[in-house]
Amino acid sequence: MSSSTKVPRNDAVTQIASKSLWIRRRSFQMVYEAQQGHPGGDFSAADILATLYFGVMRFDPRKPNDPGRDRFVMSKGHCSGAFYAALAAAGYFPEDELKTYMEPLSKLNGHPNRNYLPGVETNTGPLGHGLPVATGIAIAGQLDNADFRTFVLTGDGELQEGSNWECALTAAHRKLENLTLIVDRNRLQQGARTEDTATLDPLDEKWRAFGWHVEMVDGHDHAQLLDVLSAPAKGRGKPLCVIANTFKGKGVSFMHDNVSWHHGVPNKEQYEQAMAELV
């Protein structure tokens, strides 16, 4: 499976919607069974992941090291549940393997490990490292005159790590039009609102001031995500920052915008209610 096969836009949006729902349901089941994980951030990122894997990126899961593949770096590696569900849905490994999430000796650790799983470009978990790695990959692509694109998804709280801002400088200086940063702007971090911790707003102006092309989208609107992420990168002359306005816990009423679900895990009743809502 690969999104390089052109499908009409409406069909793509429909498929992305159904994969987003599947990612939410499957990752929540994983978190429930493991009684560990980060479901709030899984849900804020689910639509972004589904859009990348089912509408935007060119890849062949049977050839995970194909030099021409588009690269994706899941910098907010704590949201491994949604990431693993997306990788399985995209065909990188059997869906059955998702059952082993967080088990001892499982390939599906709490944080993604490239040595265990195809489709994981780099290990993540310690926040602030995904954009630096993705910037390096994009520089390599530019030097090779290769036409793959590199996508990286960070949290918004994660932008408190200074390493991101070094890359903001470097990527703009090098005119890395092959690099796309998506910020999961759910306005919550581990235990508080981002704006109560270290103000990020106006976030779009910050990235623009560093020399990036910036787009703001509703991060749960598949058509908006698809349009902005699949727009041609060649000729832009700048790296792209997509600020995706999202909600932690999106899709389940009692988790919506609720920081306690950053790493909260459901009891049986909550699990059943969530699954009843995720339809």
Decide if residue 264 touches ligand TPP (CB under 6 A).
no
CB of 13 or CB of 168, closer to ligand TPP: 168
Q: Does residue 34 sit in helix, strand or coil?
A: helix
Site string for ligand TPP, 47-66 (x = CB under 6 A): --------------------
The residue from 128, 130, 239, 249 that contacts ligand TPP (CB under 6 A) is: 128
Alpha helix (H) ranges present in 98-193? 130-143, 163-173
Site string for Mg ion, 89-128 (x = CB under 5 A): ----------------------------------------
Residues in contact with 221: Cβ distance below 8 Å, sequence separation at least 6, in sequence order: 47
Count of residues that bind Mg ion according to CB under 5 A? 5
CB atoms within 10 A of CB 3: 21
Q: Read off the tokens for 260.
A: 């306690």
What is the closest distance, in whole angstroms, from the C-beta atom of residue 95 to ligand TPP in the complex? Answer: 24
What is the closest distance, in whole angstroms, from the C-beta atom of residue 158 to ligand TPP in the complex? Answer: 3
CB of 178 or CB of 189, closer to ligand TPP: 189
Decide if residue 156 touches Mg ion (CB under 5 A).
yes
Per CB under 6 A, contacts with ligand TPP among 94-123 are: none
CA dihedral 62, 66, 68, 72 (to 10 degrees): 70
* 155: β partners: 184
Token match 């698809």: residue? 226
CB of 238 or CB of 250, closer to Mg ion: 250
In whole angstroms, give the CA distance from residue 123 to residue 185.
22
In whole angstroms, give the CA distance from residue 161 to residue 146.
30
What is the closest distance, in whole angstroms, from the C-beta atom of residue 264 to Mg ion in the complex? Answer: 15
CB of 108 or CB of 233, closer to ligand TPP: 108
Burial class (CB in 10 A: 0-12, 13-18, 19+), 30: buried
Name the residues that contact ligand TPP, by CB under 6 A: 38, 41, 44, 76, 78, 125-128, 155-158, 184, 186, 188-190, 248, 262
